[in-house]
A and B are shown apart, each in its own frame.
Chain A
Amino acid sequence: MNQQKQITKFIKHIVDNNYSAANTALQGIVNEKIKARIKNADMALTNKTTKKS
Chain B
Amino acid sequence: MSNEISTILKEATKDILTEESLKAITEAFEKKVDEKVNLAVESALIKQDEEYSAKLEKVLEAIDADHTDKLTKIVSKIDEAHAAKFEHALKTIDESHSAKLEKLVSRYEGALKNEADTFKKNIVENVSSYLELYIDKAIPAQQIQEATQNTRSRKIINEIKRLVSLDETFVNENVKEALMDGKRQIDEANEKAATAAKESALLLEKVAIIERDLLLEKKIANLPAPKKAYMLRMLGEKDSKFINENFEYASDLYEKREEENLQVLKESTAPKTRGIDRVVTEDVKPATKSFMSKDEDSGEKYVAESYVSLLKNKLV
Q: Which residues of A contact B (CB under 8 A)?
A: 3-4, 7-8, 10-11, 29-30, 33-34, 37-38, 41-42, 44-45
Q: B120: nearest residue on chain A (CB-CB)?
A: A8
Q: What does DSSP make chain B's interface, helix, strand, loop or mixed?
A: helix
Chain B residues near A41 (CB, 8 Å)? Answer: 141, 144-145, 148
Q: Which residues of B contact A (CB under 8 A)?
A: 120, 123-124, 127-128, 131-132, 135, 139, 141, 144-145, 147-149, 152
In the complex, which of the residues B131, B139, B147 has the most CB atoms of chain A within 10 Å of its own CB atom?
A: B131
How far is A8 from B147 in the complex, measured between Cα atoms in Å?
Answer: 31
How far is A45 from B96 in the complex, measured between Cα atoms in Å?
Answer: 70
Contact indicator B128/A3 (Cβ below 8 Å): yes
How far is A45 from B135 in the complex, measured between Cα atoms in Å?
Answer: 21
**6 A-B residue pairs with CB within 8 Å:** A8-B120, A8-B124, A37-B144, A38-B144, A42-B148, A45-B148
How far is A34 from B145 in the complex, measured between Cα atoms in Å?
Answer: 12
Q: B142: nearest residue on chain A (CB-CB)?
A: A41
Chain A residues near B141 (CB, 8 Å)? Answer: 37, 41
- Given known A30-B135, A33-B135, A37-B135, contact A7–B148 (CB-CB < 8 A): no
Contact indicator B132/A45 (Cβ below 8 Å): no
- Given known A38-B144, A42-B148, contact A7–B128 (CB-CB < 8 A): yes
- Given known A7-B127, A30-B131, contact A45–B152 (CB-CB < 8 A): yes
Chain B residues near A10 (CB, 8 Å)? Answer: 127
- Given known A33-B132, A34-B135, contact A7–B124 (CB-CB < 8 A): yes
Q: A11: nearest residue on chain B (CB-CB)?
A: B123
Chain A residues near B124 (CB, 8 Å)? Answer: 4, 7-8, 11
Chain A residues near B144 (CB, 8 Å)? Answer: 34, 37-38, 41
How far is A33 from B128 in the complex, measured between Cα atoms in Å?
Answer: 9
Chain A residues near B128 (CB, 8 Å)? Answer: 3-4, 7
Chain A residues near B148 (CB, 8 Å)? Answer: 38, 41-42, 45
